[in-house]
Structure 1
Amino acid sequence: MIIVLRGTLEVTVGNEKRTLGYSEEDAASGGIGYVPISLKYRPYTAEHAREHSIAGDPRASDVLDRAYRGKTVTTHNESDLDTVLEMKEMMEGKPVIVSPPLSNPAIVAEFEAEADAIVANFGLQDQALMDVLSGAFEPSGLLPMQMPADMKTVEEQLEDVAHDMDCHVDSEGHVYDFAYGLNWSCVINDLRTAKYRKTR
C-alpha cells in the first residue's frame, strides 16, 4: 500500500482556515492574530515557543510582539495521519509505504513507526515514484533539510544557526539529518555526503 500525504502547513484556528501563522479570527476576537506554524499532523499547542517574539514591526498599525505561546492550531490534513494508521492495521502485516511531500520539514515521528518505508516526495511525478518503488530506479536523493524530532526542537532552534535541531531517529537508528538518504543497500555515503554532511 502506497500512501501519498499532503503538506502540513495548512491549519485551522476556530472556524478559519489559515496557512502562514496569522489568523484574522484570532485578531478579531482580541488576540494579536499570530498563531503557531505546525509541522505536525495532530493538533499542536505551542508550549515551548518564546514568551516574547524576536519579530515584529514598531509601526502603530502592526504588532511588535508576535508571540503565540499557548495557542493551538489543527492541521487540515490530520486525516492523512489517520489514513496511515488505519491502512497499517488493515494491511495486516503487508508493507505500507508513506510518501510525504517535503517542501518543508515535517514531524515524521507521528507515522514513522507504522511505515515500512518513507519515500520523501519533493513534487515528483507519480511515475517517478513508481519507478523507485518498483525497483526500476535506485533512490539516490539526500535530505536538503533536517527533519526535527518534535515541535519542541523546532521552537527552541536558533534562527541564525544551521544544523541546531534534534533530528528524528527512526526505528532502525537512522538520523534524519541534512544530507541523509538511503539507497537499496545502505545509508548513502558518497562525494556529496562527504562534502555536505555535518560530522557530529
Structure 2
Amino acid sequence: LDAGVDQFGGEFNPKALIGLVRAGSVPESRLDTSVRRLLREKFRLGLFDDARFVDVEAADAIVGREDARAAGLEAQARSLTLLTNGGGAAHLPLQGRPTVYVEGLDPVELAGWADVVTDPDRADVAIVRTDAPWEPRGNGADIESFFRAGSLEFHDDELAHLRDLAARVPLVLDVYLDRPAILAPLLDVASTIIANYGASDTALVNVLFGAVEPQGSLPFEVPSSMEAVAVSRPDVPSDTVDPSFAFGHGLRYLDWSPAARPDPASTTIEMADVAAPGGRFDLTSATVAQVLADAEALAIIAEL
C-alpha cells in the first residue's frame, strides 16, 4: 500500500488487511483512496453504463455461430506442427481408407476416413495422442498445482509401450506441447510426429487425411535432453545445446490439395471397448451409421 498498490492479485482472503486496519497500521482513508482510483477507471470504461451491458439476444445469435466454429476448427488444424513425416503407411497425409489402431483419439472422428480396429497387429497404421510429460506438484490449494511442471522426459513405461506398438505397426504420434517435451527417444520410434497446442480430435483428423494442411511452427525449441535443459540459461530463449527441433520448425505437405471429406456411413469402427446395449451390435465391429443411429449406444460413447 505504501508503494502505491491499489489491488492485490491472486488474494481472496482479506483477513490480513482487516487486521492491519484494526491495529491502526493502515487507516481506512488509505483504502478509500484505492477504492476511488479503481472505481474511476471502471467508470471511464463505461462498465456501469446500461449501454455496456450484454445484449443476450445478440449474444445468442453471435456466440457459437456455425461460420465462427468452422473458422476456429480451421485455425486449430492449421496450427498443428508437423515435426517429422516418415515414409510408408505413416506418411502424411494418409492415403486411401487405411485400417487404423488408435489411442487417445475418439475413433468416431475417423468415420469415413478409415476403418478402426482394436488390435494393432491388424492395422495399417497406429495413431496415438499423448501429452508432454509433467509431474503433479502442490497440495491442491497452491497456485503451482494449477500448472504442469517437472521433468520433460517421458516415463519409461510410456516409452516402452510406444516402442512395442511401433514394432508392430507404423506409428503416427501426436504430442500436446503445452510445454516442450524430450522427444529424442521417440525420433527413431514414431514414423511421423506432430505437435499440437490444444487442437481437437476433429482438427487432427482433418490434417492426418489432408483436408487441411498443417502450417504450424514451433513457438519454442524442443530440447534433446534434460541435461541440456539444466545447463541452459533460464533467461535466454532457445539456449539448449543441440535441440531436437529448433524454434520455428515446421514441415509442410508437398503438392498438397484439400482432400474431400468422405461419407462416414460405410466406415467400420470396432467397438470392443463399448458394451453394446442389449446386444444389438456385434461386439467386435459395427458400422458408424449403426452406432450413431442408436440413442443408447451414442450415450455410452458420449460418456466415454
Q: Which residue of 2 aligns with 1:38?
A: 151
**Pair 1:5 & 2:130 matched:** yes
Aligned-pair distance for 1:38?
0.6
Q: Which residue of 1 aligns with 2:160?
A: 82
Output the CA distance in 1 between the equivalents of 2:185 and 2:206. 27
Output the CA distance in 2 between the equivalents of 1:104 and 1:167. 18
Matching residue's letter, 2:151: S
Aligned-pair distance for 1:180?
0.7
Task: Find 2:247's aligned residue among 178, 181, 187.
Answer: 178
**Pair 1:139 & 2:214 matched:** yes
Aligned-pair distance for 1:155?
0.4
- List per-residue Cα deviations over 1:53-73 (Å, max 9, x = no partner): xxxxxxxxxxxxxxxxxxxxx
Given that 1:139 and 1:184 are in contact with CA atoms closer than 8 Å, whether structure 2 keeps it comes out as yes
Aligned-pair distance for 1:168?
3.4
Structure 2: 5+ residue stretches without partners: 1-125, 140-148, 256-304
SS at match of 2:163: helix
Matching residue's letter, 2:226: M
Matching residue's letter, 1:84: L
- List per-residue Cα deviations over 1:22-68 (Å, max 9, x = no partner): 79xxxxxxxxxxxx9210013xxxxxxxxxxxxxxxxxxxxxxxxxx
Matching residue's letter, 1:115: A
Given that 1:84 and 1:98 are in contact with CA atoms closer than 8 Å, whether structure 2 keeps it comes out as no
1:1-200 map, 5 Å: 1-10=126-135, 19-20=136-137, 37-42=150-155, 78-91=156-169, 95-169=170-244, 176-185=245-254
Output the CA distance in 2 between the equivalents of 1:166 and 1:115. 23
Matching residue's letter, 2:165: M
Given that 2:132 and 2:180 are in contact with CA atoms closer than 8 Å, whether structure 1 keeps it comes out as no
TM-score normalised per structure 1: 0.56
Aligned-pair distance for 1:82?
2.4
- List per-residue Cα deviations over 1:91-135 (Å, max 9, x = no partner): 1xxx31001110000000121111111010211000100001011
SS at match of 1:83: helix
Given that 1:146 and 1:167 are in contact with CA atoms closer than 8 Å, whether structure 2 keeps it comes out as no
Given that 2:223 and 2:242 are in contact with CA atoms closer than 8 Å, whether structure 1 keeps it comes out as yes
Identity %: 31
Larger fraction in helix:
2
Given that 2:151 and 2:226 are in contact with CA atoms closer than 8 Å, whether structure 1 keeps it comes out as yes
Given that 2:130 and 2:174 are in contact with CA atoms closer than 8 Å, whether structure 1 keeps it comes out as yes
Matching residue's letter, 2:191: D
Q: Which residue of 1 aligns with 2:50?
A: none
Given that 2:180 and 2:220 are in contact with CA atoms closer than 8 Å, whether structure 1 keeps it comes out as yes
**Number of residues of Structure 1 aligned to a counterpart in Structure 2:** 121
Matching residue's letter, 2:204: L
Given that 2:133 and 2:153 are in contact with CA atoms closer than 8 Å, whether structure 1 keeps it comes out as yes
TM-score normalised per structure 2: 0.37
Higher CA-based Rg: 2
Aligned-pair distance for 1:153?
0.9
